[in-house]
Amino acid sequence: MKTRHEKRLKKHFEQIMKFSNQNIHIASTLIALIVVSTLLVYSYILINKGDEYINFYILDQNRRAEKYPEVVILGKNNTFTVFVVVENYMKRTLTGEVLLKITDKPVYTFPAPVEPAQSFYLKIDIGKSMEIPFEVTLNMTGKFNLIFELWILNEEKYELDKFLVLNVDVKED
């Protein structure tokens, strides 16, 4: 038979356990809500940021991604046109510049350490695109890298956003 003291201890212990189980349940629920809320906020930010992007690509003289000038012959087809396309899927008007740099040296870093041969200022509204014709003349034989750099104006400072390289081999007839 249990003593009065043992009965009181048992009752007290049961109350503590009941209180502890309730606290654990509340704490677990709160932690789960915090984790889920954090994940929802993070997902919302990530999804919205994921919607913002810029497409930057080159088209050949027929405005297709097919017959790029890979080999040209001096005096015949060493002047050619390619089109650079910039599509704005940012949530703001895109202001920037496309630079064409031409070099016969290997390029290992970007921006390329070469002075621009041509440049084109651009301002593109949300959801719009711009097609920029670049007429290129290569007057000497060799292997050339045509480097197209897309510079975007961010908070009053231009930053390199993307670049494309077109390799062209110039030969004599």
Give pLDDT tens digits for 30-46.
566 666 777 777 666 66
Structure confidence at residue 20 as a pLDDT band (50, 70, 90):
low
DSSP code string of 109-149: SSS-SS--SEEEEEEE-TT-EEEEEEEEE--S-EEEEEEEE
Q: Class assignment of domain 52-171?
A: mainly beta
Paired sense of beta strands 157-171 and 71-73, if any: parallel
Domain extent listing, the chain: 1-51, 52-171
pTM: 0.71
